Amino acid sequence: MTLPPFFSYASSSLNCESVALSQVADQFGTPSYVYSKAAITEAMSAYLNALGDHPGMICYAVKANSNLAVLQLLAKLGAGFDIVSAGELARVLAAGGRADKVVFSGVAKKREEMVAALEAGIHCFNVESVAELELLAEVAQELGKEAPVSLRVNPDVDAKTHPYISTGLAENKFGISMEHAYQAYAFVHATEGLRVIGIDCHIGSQLTELAPFKDALDRVLDLVDRLREAGIVLEHVDAGGGLGVRYKDETPPDITDYVRALKGPLAARGLGLMLEPGRSIVANAGTLITQVDFLKTTEKHNFALVDAAMNDLLRPALYQAWMDIKPLEVNSDVTEKAWNIVGPVCETGDFLGKDRRLALSAGDRLAVLGAGAYGFVMASNYNTRPRAAEIMIDGDQMHLVRERETVADLFKHEHLL
Ligand code: LLP
């Protein structure tokens, strides 16, 4: 496994851009999430350049990493945002993002969330059921507004990814089936308070091949053509997110090829392209740094007990995700062995990596790579563990973009009887 761009060893120290990660650990402690500004910028720019002057938007999926500084950076670069809650909308606005560049996804939006989004003036609601359409129409009518709508269809395509992050199969809870979509469009078209502007789908995450994206788009375009014949003309197709990244040896298509493959068939139809990428913008821009507190050898395994745990980074425990683990300083005092890198949480599922060949002594520090997406955002306070700090690196500068929680923060909303 090679290192992601903007991470490199300078002599024996692992750097993010021009800063040694051991310096970040000294200054801010561990566990901490560290992000490369240049890596986020490069990935976002690749999307924007590939879209070029084709009408549409790159709406970063806020759920992947919602730190305000990350959103601020992306907003400045020209990103739109894909949100799934009123909370994410508030973050986007607080970070300087524009409401009219926001699309609101999610399988079940609440009335208050619809109100907040209508009042802010978002670009589009991605709606997933007729029941949701009925509520949205009611809310829009009450406010005297018109809600711009795209229907999320479920194209029934196998994304060939982990079952927990596959969303475009008929058996999943997401979207409106192709059979019912036509009727649902007729309903939107005929209902006061709703205005049809697009169609969307999102078939899953961490896809490493183009074929499922193309199949899904073909199916969506069949429906677009049928709707047009019926006089319902759409402005855009939102192909969702889902482009995979390299964690180990995956070979996902690059951003440019992916965007080109999708915008090609839309150009002829005069349709705009919207995308909702999350992971492919931030995953490999981030790392979780942690310290080895103890080494423990049993009959079966060598365990390195580190100060980051499943509450900080859930992906290995939840999806058996493999994420690379590298030392912040190369340790040449001891020989390499196979280690299980585990946290202090009281669960056997609490591991960051298994069977990793590393030369380790207690006190060494490690980086879990590819942790910029679905890392901090999925952190919890399980075992009353304060959530980690977040630091953004910009060249040779370190910026603390989220302070480490304190224990007092954790029970400040609780009351004794
Ligand atoms: N749009 C919609 C409607 C989504 O549900 C998602 C992700 C995205 C866009 C962004 O997908 P991306 O480009 O990041 O693949 N926690 C899991 C991933 C869950 C993805 C959920 N939806 C993980 O750690 O692998």
Of ligand 1's listed atoms, the one at least distance from the Cα of 279 is 14
Q: How far apart (Å, rounded) are the C-alpha atoms in residues 290 and 339?
A: 15
Active site residue 346: yes
Q: Per the structure block, which two tokens stand in for 127?
A: 């709606």
Do the beta carbons of residue 275 and residue 262 sit within 8 Å? Answer: yes
**Which tens digits make up the pLDDT trace of 34-58?**
999 999 999 999 999 999 999 999 9
Beta partners for residue 81, in sequence order:
60, 102
- Contacts of residue 209, Cβ cutoff 8 Å, sequence gap at least 6: 160, 252, 253
Nearest-CA residue for ligand 1 atom 24 is: 374
CA 58 to chain centre: 13
Residues 164-186: tens digit of each pLDDT: 777 777 778 888 998 899 999 99
Q: Which atom of ligand 1 is nearest to the CA of 315?
A: 24
The average pLDDT across 116-134 equals: 97
Computed over every residue of the chain, the mean pLDDT equals 96
- How many Å lie between the centroid of ligand 1 and the Cα of residue 63? 7
Single pTM value for the model: 0.97
Whole-angstrom Cα distance, residue 63 to residue 83?
7
Quote the pLDDT of residue 162. 78
Please pick, among 59, 124, 201, 346, the residue that the annotation labels catalytic.
Answer: 346
| Confidence label for 369 from pLDDT (cuts 50, 70 and 90) | very high
Cα 360 to ligand 1 centre (Å): 34
pLDDT score at 403: 98
Q: What pLDDT, in 10s, does the model give residues 285-296?
A: 999 999 999 999
Helix spans in 130-240 (H) = 130-143, 178-190, 211-229
Give CA–CA dist 41/278, Å, rounded. Answer: 13
Alpha carbon distance 320, 408 (integer Å): 32
The span from the CA of 221 to the CA of 282, in Å, is 29
Confidence of residue 16 (pLDDT cuts 50, 70, 90): very high
What pLDDT is attached to residue 158?
83
- Alpha-carbon gap, residue 113 to 229, rounded angstroms: 34
Question: pLDDT for 198-238, tens place per residue?
Answer: 999 999 999 999 999 999 999 999 999 999 999 999 999 99
pLDDT at position 174 is 85
Count CA within 13 A, CB hemisphere, residue 367.
30
Q: How far is the CA of 10 from the centre of ligand 1 (A)?
A: 34
Average pLDDT estimate for 112-122: 98
- Ligand 1 pocket, CB under 6 A: 61, 64, 82, 105, 165, 202, 205-206, 240-243, 276-280, 315, 319, 374
3-class SS of residue 252: coil
Q: What is the pLDDT of residues 139-170, one digit of tens each?
A: 999 999 999 999 999 998 887 777 777 777 77
Whether 1 has a pLDDT exceeding 70, the answer reads no
Distance CA(100)–CA(119), nearest Å, equals: 11
Q: Where are the alpha helices (DSSP H) in 268-350?
A: 279-282, 315-319
Ligand 1 atom nearest to 244, measured from its CA: 15
Q: Among 206, 238, 279, 322, say which to mutate for ligand 1: greatest number of ligand atoms within 8 Å of CB.
A: 279
C-beta separation of 307 from 271 below 8 A: no
CB–CB of 222/196 below 8 Å? Answer: no
Å from CA of 278 to ligand 1 middle: 6
Report how far residue 340's alpha carbon sits from residue 85's, in angstroms, rounded to the nearest whole number: 37
Q: Select from 13, 65, 59 the least CA-distant residue to 34.
A: 65
Instruction: Report all structural domains of the chain as residue ranges with CATH numbers, in order of start.
Output: 7-36+283-410 (2.40.37.10), 105-277 (3.20.20.10)
